[in-house]
Structure 1
Amino acid sequence: MSGISGSGYQHSPRYNAVGIIGGLGSVASADVFFKMTRFAAAMPPARRVEILFDQKPFKEADIAGAENAYTNARKLYVFDMVRQFEERCAAAVALPCFISHTFLDELQVEVGLPIVDMLAAIRRHLETRLPKLQRVGVLTSSYVRKKQLFQKYFPADQYELLFPSDAVQHACVMRAVYGAQGIKHGCMSGNTIDLLYEACQDLLRQGAQVILPGMTEVAMVADALIARGIPLIDTNQVYAESVIAYEGVVARQFKIGVVGGVGPAATVDFIGKVIRNTPAEKDQDHIKLVVEQNPQIPDRTQNLVADGPDPTVAIYAACKRLENDNADIIAIPCNTAHAFVERIQAHLSVPIINMLDETVGYVARQYGQPCRIGLLATAGTIASTVYHEAAQRLGMQLVTPAPEQQEQVMQIIYGEHGVKAGFVNDDLRLALIEQIGLLAQQGADVVILGCTELPLLMHQNEAFEVNGKCVPVLDPTEILARRCVSLAQAAG
């Protein structure tokens, strides 16, 4: 049985919907919304999508496209909007703003929804419709020009990008959009069109074969410029069609979700093991982690062996919060908590990596058959038989302490001076070694430290000689950490 349960790593939207981030500015966003709606209406019924349009109060700078414009507020606004569309279960997001596409990569790695790339859509359109095109004129803001956004998508060895002269850029392009009588102020005829026509003529004189609006406001008046004989492409229409037809998935960094607080020290220990097992030369090589540290989750053992409160809802709630934070997998560094995993996994879209299955599988791979596994764990873990079932699935025998020995194990873990009380010392270590020896005398070939507090007293693969036999101990949190790292690396 695999250590991964559930449906896989990709999150699926509950319905086919796309969101449009409005407000950057609102007139051009509405134009893209209209064109998306019109294109969607022509789609076959089975492929029609719901379009979610939303904009919040966002005060742009007077000239947001100025060469040295400050974009921090815009970045945070877009991030918040994408997260809201995530909560509404959209399948993708449209971002009709060329300025915002200059920091698209920064956004995409931090959100779980794919933001449909406007520049990639435009390039695909040109490659399909005008495959022999070489010289491309671009009408965009001074900010986008400075950031060289178009150069990123149209490399110099394939395209020659042409831009208006500096004088034309400021007197015509920027004025037509941001001026007092510009498009952002609702003026989309008369002098506005004259200014953009003059800018287009500048590009045509440079040899442009086609002209791309690199501002959504300019694309709004594409028809007026085309009517004057300008070979201009309505990039808003291109983007609208691309968003409606989008079927991709987000390519984002792998994230491990951790249900923490069960117990707190074991959580820190597990995270340290993930870090130590990750091959990294710099900070950015490490794996993303999100931890839901909730020490108030009811005690698992008290529920399993006594009449303590049921921790199922609390564990499930922690997993759901990790799911909502775009975790790709969930790790629970608590052996006893795995008695509740089967109850909640079917209700999650993210797989919980089963630490017990991983540990028993490790024993089978490393030590083969026959192998008798000794288990030192809480009374709750033993009473739940979750380790017994994992061993039986691989045809292995489990050895557990006698009742009086189990009381000593519980003292090591839960005692007034036990590990959960914050004590990690030689006395506890010696008491643990004694219990390992007793299991070895019962025939154990290897001993699992089946409570995540116990590995705080000794390490993976420490070995003890008992009656001439070498008995290694295994740390399930170490094995779980290695598995999580392996999955992260495999995901790229």
Structure 2
Amino acid sequence: MNRFRSLGLVTGAAQLASADILSRMSTASRGSGAARPFDLILEPRSWHGPAAPTATDAQFKIHVFDTMRGFEKRGVDAIVLPCFLSHTFIDELSANLTVPVANIMTALSGHVQHTYASARRIGVLTSAAIRASGLFERYFEAGRFDVRYPRDDSGFDCVTSAVYGDEGIRHGRLYGRSVELLRAACADLVAQGVDLIVPGLAEIGLVLHGLGRVEVPLVDANQVYARYVAAAQYTQPERVFRLGVVGGIGPAATVDFIGKVVRNTPAVRDQDHLRIIVEQNPQIPDRTAALLGRGDDPTLALYAACRTLEDGGADLIAIPCNTAHAFVERIQPALRVPIVNMPGCTADYLRETFPGLREVGVLGTSGTLASRVYEQALDARGFVQIAPSAAAQARLMNAIYGPYGAKAGHTSGECCDDLAAAVDDLLAQGVQVIVLACTELPLLLREPVLACPGGRVVRLVDPTEVLARRCVAYALGDSAARESATPAAGCASPMQSALG
């Protein structure tokens, strides 16, 4: 609780002003109302573009964002952004960051409303670019304030010149022409009947003492912002849920899973869908080969993929590979982010959908069967796993791994014949429900119902679909839905020709 805060200060295009705010923050941190002390991290990346960039300059936006992302990766608690121009697109910045950004406009508007409660007409000293963006109108008008700017009948922007011109503050000219221009701008605002004047460029704070007497209050914006930051009054950004997906195991199954997430998300526009981070790594060693003692251990590769997702801000991790879940218990304790247990939520679905069911057929890789991940999940919920015979399992493996199998990109022909043999084997054992416990199998069997001779119907359960629905329910924050969200039962047409 007593640790120092860590703040990242974006200097960017306002290095002198940033130094001024840093000095004021240091003083404010020792005053009343200050939060716990802070460590300040400076990013020495200077802006080398135009001295007065516009609010729509893509390169300037990217420069500011890259600087802020660097702070985010270093684990700062908040970011200090003295640049008013950057605040014209602060919503864009905040939407792509996970740490709060101390908003100078929020600090100023709050200070004005609290300190100058009777003020109605506010004069603003800022650049043409910020004026054109409507930044101050967004924060100050709202039916209460009338925002005014210096009139410029000659077409010469005196405030912009005072800050950015050859004799301006940005070039270290803190006296002379820059101060004269700002005095003239203040006089014009007073003539317009403003109740107070607010600087809209942080550099102006460096010369306030040189402006002399102004007939209305002149807010020290840098001081207001420094105290706001020192008091930690900034708020945490609204958290946008991020689903992390360990992909590439296999690649087509990953695409299938993401498609199911999209289809199961209630959305009327693009922005309503989940934010998904995919670590597509087909080079993760084969899980079945490892479990059967014929291949490299994939544990570290799976863990590295999960850590990449965790570092990217994932709130939940999905691994659309049934066999990979044999390794989840090894890596979950070292992660902060939970991994959805695919066999577990599939077994939950079976229990909720088929309350009288006892025996469940499982079609999975030999590695999945050897690991017993489904057998254990089913047993914990009162089911008995029924696996194919050895001969049928060999044909199933050929349907998945063979030269004409699903992992080789085939979805018809030999792979379907082999899969049909495995299905027939389970049917001969009397199963009524079959779990497609390999994520390649739903690419071959896309319908949930299989019609058999004699009017018998066998249900096919797709764990990829169950996983997708569970992830969507989790993302929507509905704890009850997380436990009960399942694929719709019995709504699809019979699967007469599903095996091709």
Q: Check whether TM > 0.5.
A: yes
Question: Given residue 60 of structure 1, which amino acid in structure 2 is its aligned partner?
Answer: G
State the identity %: 44
Q: How does 1:459-478 map to 2 (within 5 A)?
A: 459-465=446-452, 469-478=456-465
Partners of 1:306 and 1:15 in 2: how far apart?
50
TM superposition shift of 1:360: 1.7
SS at match of 1:373: strand
Question: Given residue 49 of structure 1, which amino acid in structure 2 is its aligned partner?
Answer: F
Partners of 1:29 and 1:398 in 2: how far apart?
66
- 1:366 matched to 2:353? The reply is yes
Question: Cα deviations across residues 132-160 of structure 1 (Å, max 9, x unaligned)?
Answer: 43222211111011010111122341221
Q: How does 1:332-411 map to 2 (within 5 A)?
A: 332-411=319-398
User: Relative to 1, partners in 2 of residues 1:54 and 1:410: Cα closer, same or farther, differing over 3 Å?
Assistant: same
Residue 71 of structure 2 contacts residue 79 of structure 2 at CA under 8 Å; is this kept in 1? yes
SS at match of 1:164: coil
Question: Given residue 234 of structure 1, which amino acid in structure 2 is its aligned partner?
Answer: D
Aligned to 2:401: 414
Residue 13 of structure 2 contacts residue 51 of structure 2 at CA under 8 Å; is this kept in 1? no
Aligned to 1:3: none
Question: Given residue 125 of structure 2, which amino acid in structure 1 is its aligned partner?
Answer: L
Residue 32 of structure 1 contacts residue 96 of structure 1 at CA under 8 Å; is this kept in 2? yes
Partners of 1:44 and 1:175 in 2: how far apart?
37
TM superposition shift of 1:269: 1.6
Residue 109 of structure 1 contacts residue 252 of structure 1 at CA under 8 Å; is this kept in 2? no
Residue 222 of structure 1 contacts residue 233 of structure 1 at CA under 8 Å; is this kept in 2? no
Question: Given residue 48 of structure 1, which amino acid in structure 2 is its aligned partner?
Answer: P
Aligned to 1:166: 152
Aligned to 2:287: 300
Partners of 2:265 and 2:25 in 1: how far apart?
44
Task: Give unmatched runs, 5+ long, in structure 2.
Answer: 479-500
Aligned to 1:34: 23
Higher relative contact order (CA 8 A, sep 6+): 1
Partners of 1:165 and 1:315 in 2: how far apart?
63
Aligned residues: 475
Residue 162 of structure 1 contacts residue 203 of structure 1 at CA under 8 Å; is this kept in 2? yes
Partners of 2:43 and 2:265 in 1: how far apart?
40
TM-score by length of 2: 0.87
Task: Give unmatched runs, 5+ long, in structure 1.
Answer: 1-13
User: Relative to 1, partners in 2 of residues 1:392 and 1:201: Cα closer, same or farther, differing over 3 Å?
Assistant: farther
Q: How does 1:31-110 map to 2 (within 5 A)?
A: 31-42=20-31, 47-64=36-53, 71-110=57-96
Aligned to 1:431: 418
Aligned to 1:262: 249
TM superposition shift of 1:277: 2.8
TM superposition shift of 1:122: 1.8
CA RMSD of aligned residues (A): 2.7
Residue 242 of structure 2 contacts residue 316 of structure 2 at CA under 8 Å; is this kept in 1? yes
TM-score by length of 1: 0.88
Aligned to 1:19: 8
TM superposition shift of 1:115: 2.2
- 1:177 matched to 2:163? The reply is yes
Aligned to 1:330: 317
Aligned to 1:5: none
Partners of 2:200 and 2:328 in 1: how far apart?
51
Residue 401 of structure 2 contacts residue 407 of structure 2 at CA under 8 Å; is this kept in 1? yes
Residue 246 of structure 2 contacts residue 320 of structure 2 at CA under 8 Å; is this kept in 1? yes
Aligned to 1:487: 474
Question: Given residue 236 of structure 2, which amino acid in structure 1 is its aligned partner?
Answer: V
- 1:272 matched to 2:256? The reply is no
User: Relative to 1, partners in 2 of residues 1:49 and 1:372: Cα closer, same or farther, differing over 3 Å?
Assistant: farther
Partners of 2:48 and 2:15 in 1: how far apart?
11
Higher deviation after alignment, 168-177 or 111-120: 168-177
